[in-house]
Chain A
Amino acid sequence: MIRSALITLALGLVQLALVLILSPLLLGIVSRVKAMAAGRVGPPLLQLYYDLAKLARKDAVFSRSTTWVFLVGPLAAVAIPASAALLVPMGSGRGPLGFTGDLILFAYLFAMARFLTVLSALDTGSSFEGMGAAREVAYSALAEPALFLGLAALASFSGSLSLGPLLTAAGQGWGVASGPLILVLAGWALVFLVENCRIPFDDPNTHLELTMIHEVMVLDHSGPPLGLVLYGASMKFMVLGTLLVKVCLPTSGNPWIDWPAFLLGLGALAVGVGLVESVMARLRLNRVPQLLVVAVLSCAFAFLMLLLQPVSK
């Protein structure tokens, strides 16, 4: 009993430390890949770490029209992905704090982060931020069903309602259920891109406030709170990326193989995101819902296939 509690504690600390330390590197890989594809040298891989260190040393400026609510967004942006990191399996087969039904908590932790970010944006009273909040809420309403239908498909496949066994079973299931898994992966890849504000949904590098979705909501942050927002975004990238990587990777049970494989998988995901951003333009804003509906349908069909033709493991 004590032994298993200690293992859980150790595993939790390892995952938390990895997310805290490695996540900015992933965004560094994305921008390096984009730069190389465009024929530029690009910023150093560790640029986001430098930026965070710089922002931590700065003072923050607060608009007179804001209240304490304004600070809740950045705090939630960091605290929530860190908490969610304890529910997903990374190199091992289970999430450190996983329990039956934790997938609901996982999904709604991110919904709560979004809710708090939106509140913090509305707190500024700026018409831009209100516009961004409206867009963010509208698109997440479409991304959420895709996430849940994908989870439902995998739950019916694995027979488990906990993210650890569910994702591990998916990783092992390519031999028997490759069709539904491809559909779930495709739907979730779109959800991953929209949740992380990447092209084709949003452009994290644009300075054009009228075209932004997520970025416009955090325009008024500066100094350490802005650092928290950026740091939180990178953690979100890593934690949500874990879902995609785990669905793709079988688990061997040997941590000396599983952990390096997982980390390489995350690196490959970052390279993939960089390549997508290098070869296509952003969608027109009113086309975003259409692509998200495709994500919902893709996950829904995976669910239907598994319901109608249960796979015996």
Chain B
Amino acid sequence: MKRQPAHLANGEARSLSAIPNLEFSAFQKTILHELANGARLACLCADRTGAGYAVLAEEAKQRFGVLRTQFPEKEFTSLTPQCPQAHLFEREIAEQWGLLPVDHPWLKPVRFHPAWTGRDVWEREAIQPGVMDFYRVEGETIHEVAVGPVHAGVIEPGHFRFQCHGETVFHLEIALGFQHRGIERALEGGPHKLTLKMMETAAGDTTIGHAWAHALVMEALAGSEVPARAHHHRAIALELERLANHTGDLGALAGDVGFLPTAAFCGRLRGDWLNLTALLCGSRLGRDLVRPGGVGFDLDATQIEELRLRLEAAFTDTANAVELLLATPSVLARFEGTGKIERFAAEDAGLVGPAARACGLPRDARTHFPVGFYQDLKLPMVLDHDGDVAARARIRWAEIQASVQFIRQALEGLAELPTGPTLVPCGPLAPNHLALGVVEGWRGELVHMAITDSEGRLGRYKVVDPSFHNWTGLALAMRGQEISDFPLCNKSFNLSYCGFDL
């Protein structure tokens, strides 16, 4: 039996009773049916009562399909064999709630924490991060290289295990979870005083993105309107965050291949971009800017002018550094053909963000699910088709150009708006509602989904960082590659460890 999911727009709340509650097998069938019709699994999760929720992103129709169900008692039939996108979501459900996905081909822990219900599907006694059955290739000429969780550079912890034949990587397995903080669980019963802080630091380099997605959810549940000036501020801040990170990553790519000029300049330029965010709110990482109901700071006319001038200066320097990088043959020789992902693999794995767009998949929440100022001013979506490191670098550069153009226009719009409040605090949350907030952060789609209880407090709050989808993409990109190209591939994705670990 198949049923229509409830259709929600981005930043919309809906009473739980208006969302079809399907019997479990019908729930799975409907998901498969929708996926076959071009939808994408943006979120699949369960809650304390054993209820299950699925969010299906329908780019073509610019809407989300939402379904709910009741999971069977202890185990359920895995969807993964028919739908690889679900594999990590099902592993997460198994780990959090002790529900066993039967026939899951790759059932391993995700974050190495005790189940919230106390029922561990692996029946482990002591849980230690990174301890699980790793995939092994057997054979005399195969060797295994293990890297991390402590690395030579100052980066976040993660464990990478390569099955190699000489210099060629047959398979890479990634074990994360070393930074699991229990954010989702801490949000139950909220919002608390620290809720916004937790959202801002879910992935620290995506402060604006996560805070905005959270604000969308809260505003939808409270039914509050955001002042027009705040819409402009949020979009400007999100694009500045993208600019800083894309510039920093292009510099890091240059550093990995030993190309000094761009590496040195982009390191400084990332600081210039961060300083523009500091001009907005006093924090280089954008802390405290986005709040439920609006933004915490406003710019006056002289600050807008200063921002405009510094934007142009930083863009000129960035253009010089990046154009040199992308025009140097020795750099292109390293980038091209390295870490290639085929389009079908990217689609199966459910990649999002620039990594998906580099494979030719049109997935950009700013285009498909626009909210706030993105509804007024369209950003061109940038696509590439090679799916390799070069394509991911080109996407970054094209997005830098598009973002600068977007900010120019947004600043003009902001200067013309009448002055007024930028923050209208949210009222109490609607009880027994489900709300969805999706923002295209610089790494890709950030999904926040909240379900309130009967007293209007947060029940289940689900965060899906783009890294959750894209680490699988990195493992796919390394198949058949030289092991010495791993750092370069890794940098071209530059995924978040803490955003995955939550």
Contact = CB atoms under 8 A, between A and B. Distances in A.
Q: Do A and B come from one complex?
A: yes
Interface of A: 34, 37-40, 127-128, 130-131, 135, 199-200, 203, 205-211, 277-287
28 contacts: A38-B264, A39-B261, A39-B264, A39-B265, A127-B143, A128-B145, A131-B483, A200-B258, A206-B256, A206-B258, A208-B256, A209-B147, A210-B483, A210-B487, A211-B484, A211-B485, A211-B488, A281-B257, A281-B258, A281-B259, A281-B330, A281-B334, A283-B330, A284-B333, A284-B334, A284-B485, A286-B167, A286-B482
Given A281-B328, A281-B330, A283-B330, 8 more contacts: A37-B261, A39-B264, A127-B144, A203-B258, A278-B261, A284-B485, A285-B167, A285-B484
Contact of B263 (A38, A127, A199, A283): A38
B260 interface: yes
Given A39-B265, A209-B147, A211-B484, A280 B256 contact: no
Nearest to A285: B484
Contacts of B397: none
A130 B146 CA distance: 13
Contacts of B146: 127
A210 B491 CA distance: 13
B486 interface: yes
Given A210-B486, A210-B487, A284-B338, A131 B328 contact: no
Please list the 6 inter-chain residue pairs (A to B) with the smallest Cβ-Cβ separation, ordered nearest first: A38-B264, A281-B257, A282-B258, A208-B487, A281-B259, A203-B258
A135 B146 CA distance: 18
Given A38-B260, A39-B264, A211 B328 contact: no
Nearest to A130: B143
A280 B331 CA distance: 7
Interface in B147-173: 147, 152-153, 167
Nearest to A198: B258
A199 B167 CA distance: 20
Contacts of A281: 254, 257-259, 328, 330-331, 333-334
A278 B254 CA distance: 11
Interface residues of B, number: 31
Nearest to B146: A127
A17 to B, nearest CB: 33
Contacts of A39: 261, 264-265
Contacts of B144: 127
Main SS of chain A's interface residues?
A: loop
Given A277-B258, A281-B328, A127 B145 contact: yes
A285 B265 contact: no
Contacts, number: 85
A38 B333 CA distance: 21
Contacts of A131: 145, 483
Interface in B433-457: none
B461 to A, nearest CB: 37
Contacts of B331: 281
A39 B317 CA distance: 13
Interface string B231-273: 0000000000000000000000010111111011100000000
Given A208-B487, A277-B260, A282 B152 contact: no
Most buried by A among B143, B259, B265, B483: B259
Contacts of A37: 260-261
B348 to A, nearest CB: 27
Contact of B482 (A34, A208, A284): A284
Interface string B51-77: 000000000000000000000000000
Interface string B321-344: 000000010110110001000000
Interface in B463-491: 482-488
Contacts of B330: 200, 280-283
B388 to A, nearest CB: 12
A283 B335 CA distance: 11
B258 A199 contact: yes
A70 to B, nearest CB: 20
A38 B260 CA distance: 6
Contacts of A286: 167, 482
A300 B224 CA distance: 79
Given A282-B334, A283-B330, A284-B338, A207 B152 contact: yes
Most buried by B among A130, A206, A281, A286: A281
A40 B152 contact: no
B328 to A, nearest CB: 7
